[in-house]
């Protein structure tokens, strides 16, 4: 039995959230932490006040990037119930990243319970306005202070919580995406499937270049031939063709999104013709020219659904659906955010309630 130690700091002042909330700017009072070493496994389970972290300058992850993270959300319903969206799937994916990076796996049930405890302690931090949420950032890193390229022996796992604002405070606006073929984010059989820091470092230059040209994000092509579309920034991508909703199949270079998985499920449930397959940029451009591309949208925990209004590749500027949000993207956004906020009942059992009472030991 893993017992969590509680070191709870009582707040003196009221919680004041900044306006606008933004993303990942502020953090709640407490974190969950645990440590790993090869002889004892995971140990020192604790919910404690958030504080600065002091590590040795030789700490392995700083040098060789042996680290991973997850990103999910908790939502507050009108009646004040708090729910998590598919936390089990997120922790399973965390374990998949861990195996690829030679890091220890976690017990999915235990960390889910620990997360529920933490969220219920920090319940007052969950913002109340439409579209706002508590962003949950579990992460793990190699801790040994040794400058050798090999897997670390000891690890730290932390869950950090951050109240975040609505992604579309002014309504559901389409984004402009630049197709990138000068750089790639990840390659098949590399680490593209893992939420690991290096992938995001690899994406920064192209993202900055896109931003300078007035584009929100980058559409990545496959790492081998730069022929097939893979994903957008930190979102998976879907194309609504005339007779089919298609998304790139998971070939190893793409992050397998939980929102992607949920959207595939919902679309099948709606009786639509959904496929996971290779989609070449050529096909996308050719079919756009024939008027067969009805919509393009991204899926991910941060934005949930993001409608794409423009795709630019070299000198080609493709305006999708007159730059207006696609109908399907809109319907999916309303469905998923409706489930999150409790306006729509969740028919799939994806929402996991956080218990109200906490036994403080």
Give the residues lining the site for ligand PLP (CB under 6 A).
71, 195, 231, 234-236, 255, 257-260, 299-301
Q: What is the sign, positive or negative, of the torsion defined by CA atoms of 278, 283, 285, 287?
A: negative
Question: Token pair of 20, please?
Answer: 């606008």
Residue 262 beta carbon to ligand PLP: minimum distance, rounded to whole angstroms: 8
Own/partner long-range contacts of 313-316 (Cβ < 8 Å, ≥24 apart):
313/178, 313/179, 313/181, 313/281, 313/285, 314/179, 316/285
Residue 128 beta carbon to ligand PLP: minimum distance, rounded to whole angstroms: 23
Residue 297 beta carbon to ligand PLP: minimum distance, rounded to whole angstroms: 12
Rg of the chain's alpha carbons, rounded to an integer? 21
* Closer residue to ligand PLP (CB): 4 or 302: 302
* Closer residue to ligand PLP (CB): 117 or 193: 193
Residue 240 beta carbon to ligand PLP: minimum distance, rounded to whole angstroms: 18
* Closer residue to ligand PLP (CB): 95 or 154: 95
The secondary structure of the chain in percent helix, strand, coil, rounded to multiples of 5, reads 25, 30, 45
Residue 300 beta carbon to ligand PLP: minimum distance, rounded to whole angstroms: 4
- 117 neighbors 7 (Cβ within 8 angstroms): no
* Closer residue to ligand PLP (CB): 4 or 178: 178
* Closer residue to ligand PLP (CB): 104 or 233: 233
Closest alpha carbon to 301 in 95, 86, 80: 86
Residue 74 beta carbon to ligand PLP: minimum distance, rounded to whole angstroms: 14
What are the Cα distances from residue 29, in Å, to 163, 303, 353, 357? 11, 25, 21, 18
* Closer residue to ligand PLP (CB): 67 or 143: 67
């Amino acid at each position: 039995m893993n017992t969590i130690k509680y070191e709870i700091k009582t707040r003196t002042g009221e919680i004041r959230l900044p306006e606008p909330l933004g993303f990942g700017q502020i953090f709640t009072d407490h974190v969950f932490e645990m440590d790993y070493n090869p002889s004892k496994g995971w140990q020192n389970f604790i919910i404690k006040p958030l504080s600065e972290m002091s590590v040795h300058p030789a700490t392995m992850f700083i040098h060789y990037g042996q680290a991973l993270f997850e990103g999910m959300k908790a939502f507050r319903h009108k009646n004040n119930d708090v729910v998590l969206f598919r936390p089990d799937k997120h922790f399973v994916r965390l374990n998949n990243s861990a195996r690829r990076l030679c890091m220890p796996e976690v017990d999915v049930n235990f960390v889910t319970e620990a997360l529920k405890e933490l969220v219920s302690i920090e319940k007052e931090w969950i913002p109340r306005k439409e579209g706002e949420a508590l962003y949950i950032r579990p992460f793990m890193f190699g801790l040994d202070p040794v400058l050798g390229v090999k897997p670390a022996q000891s690890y730290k796992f932390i869950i950090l919580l951050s109240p975040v604002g609505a992604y579309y405070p002014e309504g559901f606006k389409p984004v402009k995406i630049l197709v990138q073929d000068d750089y790639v984010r990840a390659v098949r059989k590399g680490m593209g499937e893992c939420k690991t820091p290096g992938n995001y470092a690899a994406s920064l230059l192209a993202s900055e270049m896109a931003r300078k040209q007035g584009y929100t994000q980058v559409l990545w092509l496959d790492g081998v031939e730069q022929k097939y579309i893979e994903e957008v920034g930190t979102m998976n991508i879907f194309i609504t063709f005339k007779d089919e909703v298609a998304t790139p199949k998971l070939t190893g270079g793409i992050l397998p999104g939980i929102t992607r998985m949920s959207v595939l499920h919902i679309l099948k449930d709606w009786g639509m013709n959904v496929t996971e397959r290779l989609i070449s940029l050529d096909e996308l451009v050719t079919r756009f020219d024939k008027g067969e591309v009805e919509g393009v949208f991204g899926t991910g925990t941060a934005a949930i659904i993001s409608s794409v209004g423009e795709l630019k590749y070299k000198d080609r500027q493709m305006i999708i659906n007159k730059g207006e949000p696609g109908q399907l993207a809109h319907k999916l956004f309303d469905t998923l955010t409706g489930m999150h906020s409790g306006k729509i009942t969740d028919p799939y059992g994806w929402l996991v309630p956080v218990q109200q009472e906490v036994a403080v030991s």
